[in-house]
Amino acid sequence: MSADSSAGDVSVPLRNLLNSVECVRDRVRDGESNESDGAFNLSNFWDTLNQAAKAVSQEATKLSLAFSKAPVPSQQDAEKLSDSALKSVLTLSTVYYWLPKSQGLSLRRQVRDATVEVLEEVMRLLETILSSPLQTLSQEQLTSTGGVWAACDHFLHLPQDNKAAALAALSAQIGVVKDAIEELEQALTEAQDPFDGDRDDEDDEDPGDHGDAAWSERDRRLLGPCQGLMKAAAACMRKLASAIRANGDVGAPQNVAQLDQLSDVVREISPGVDDLALCLYPPVDYSGVENHVSKLAALLKKVLEVIRSSHVCGESELTWIQFLDGAVDHNLQKARDLIQEDS
């Protein structure tokens, strides 16, 4: 923003607004919900929250337009614009606080993250306006304004209850595990490719690129049960998603809490799979493999037990839970035997 006296005056309310939004962002990110014993209407909450997000989007547009063309707003007008924008931000954060933990921690976490995203995009827009020349609409300002719009529109696509929130979180985890499995399989395939030596110009950051290191025959035998364990993890997550879609219920507090418990325990699977996968690239770290294969197996057994004791487990689920439980035991024992072989 230019340094003339009027610009300096105009920048004061914008900087004050930026500081206020930052404080609101910090409170939302770290604060707790206002738990209430009264009845809570989730449908009304979403209607109000979407309206609040729409208001923030509109206020951000007003601010962006006001400082992109002549005449420059007076300090009084800038204060009015800033006050109106702050009011919309405070309303959005207040509505977020209405959502009680009893509606589900998974749901509340995703609404919180979306709210924080909006506030951070508003901050980014204000920083852009303050650093740009007055009476011009820079590409950066256009991008920042669009960032606020996109963050506000995101509320329309959020999970509407804790069942949907649990499924959304699970879907993201499934994708991470699937990628880890496919990257390892691709590396194995490329290591067996007789033309692989002709590919010196390919991406040096390929997950299978470990210099001159190569898998030994013993390494490859060990990879089998380790991959089997990773695939059991992926299958467990896919089957759980199907069980939640079929049987998941948010009508009772204990069921909402069980969905949160399932989301929390499943969130540990993808780091466990990643840790194991990293140990399997040459040169294979056998002690690391033994450690991480044991940890992942123990985690999967824990996940299966949590599923078994939850409301999403029906008669049909017991079959695959038992199958995967056996697969985990089989692959763990086979991996341990191979690790101890010739050691």
Mean pLDDT of 76-97: 96
Q: Which residue has the higher pLDDT, 194 or 69?
A: 69
Residue with tokens 């004061």: 12
Between CA 339 and CA 248 the distance in angstroms is: 40
Minimum mean pLDDT among 66-75, 194-203, 320-329: which range? Answer: 194-203
pLDDT higher than threshold 50 for residue 3 = no
pTM of the entire predicted model: 0.84
Provide mean pLDDT across the span 308-329.
96
Residues of the chain with CATH 1.20.1420.10: 5-157
Distance of CA 274 to the CA centre of its chain: 16
**Mean pLDDT of all residues in 221-233:** 97
List pLDDT tens digits, range 258-270: 999 999 999 999 9
- Closest Cα partner for 225 from 117, 148, 340, 141? 340
Which of 312, 43, 293, 285 is closest to 170 using CA atoms? 312
pLDDT score for 343: 57
Q: From the CB of residue 252, how many other CB atoms can be counted at a distance below 10 Å? A: 10
Between helix 315-340 and helix 286-308 the angle, nearest 10°, is: 170
pLDDT band at 31 (very low <50, low <70, confident <90, very high): confident
In which band, very low, low, confident or very high, does the pLDDT at 202 lie, cut at 50, 70 and 90?
Answer: very low
101 within 8 A of 35, measured Cβ to Cβ: yes
More confident: 135 or 70: 70
Domain with CATH 1.20.1410.10 in the chain: 162-192+207-340
Is the confidence at residue 206, as pLDDT, over 80?
no
Q: Give mean pLDDT, residues 21-29.
A: 96
For residues 226-243, average pLDDT: 97
Which of 250, 248, 265, 247 has its CA nearest to residue 108? 250
Q: Which residues contact 215 (CB under 8 A, 6 or more apart)?
A: 188, 191, 223, 282, 284
Are 336 and 290 in contact, with CB atoms under 8 Å apart? Answer: yes
To the nearest whole number, what is the mean pLDDT of the chain?
89
Q: List pLDDT tens digits, range 150-201.
A: 999 999 999 999 999 999 999 999 999 999 999 999 999 988 754 444 444 4
CATH class belonging to 162-192+207-340: mainly alpha
Q: What share of the chain has pLDDT > 70, as a percent?
A: 88
Q: Which long-range contacts (CB under 8 A, 24 or more apart) does 181-188 make?
A: 181/227, 181/230, 181/231, 181/234, 181/273, 181/277, 183/207, 183/208, 183/277, 184/208, 184/223, 184/227, 184/230, 184/277, 184/280, 184/281, 185/227, 187/281, 188/215, 188/220, 188/223
Angle at 267 between CA 262 and CA 273, to 5 degrees: 125
pLDDT at 32: 74
pLDDT classification of 140: cutoffs 50, 70, 90: confident
Q: CB-hemisphere CA count at 13 Å for 195? A: 2
Return the CATH fold of 5-157: A middle domain of Talin 1 (1.20.1420)
Q: How many CB atoms lie within 10 A of CB 297?
A: 22
Which one is predicted more confidently, 342 or 205? 342
Considering only 3-12, 90-99, 216-225, 256-265, which range has the smallest mean pLDDT?
A: 3-12
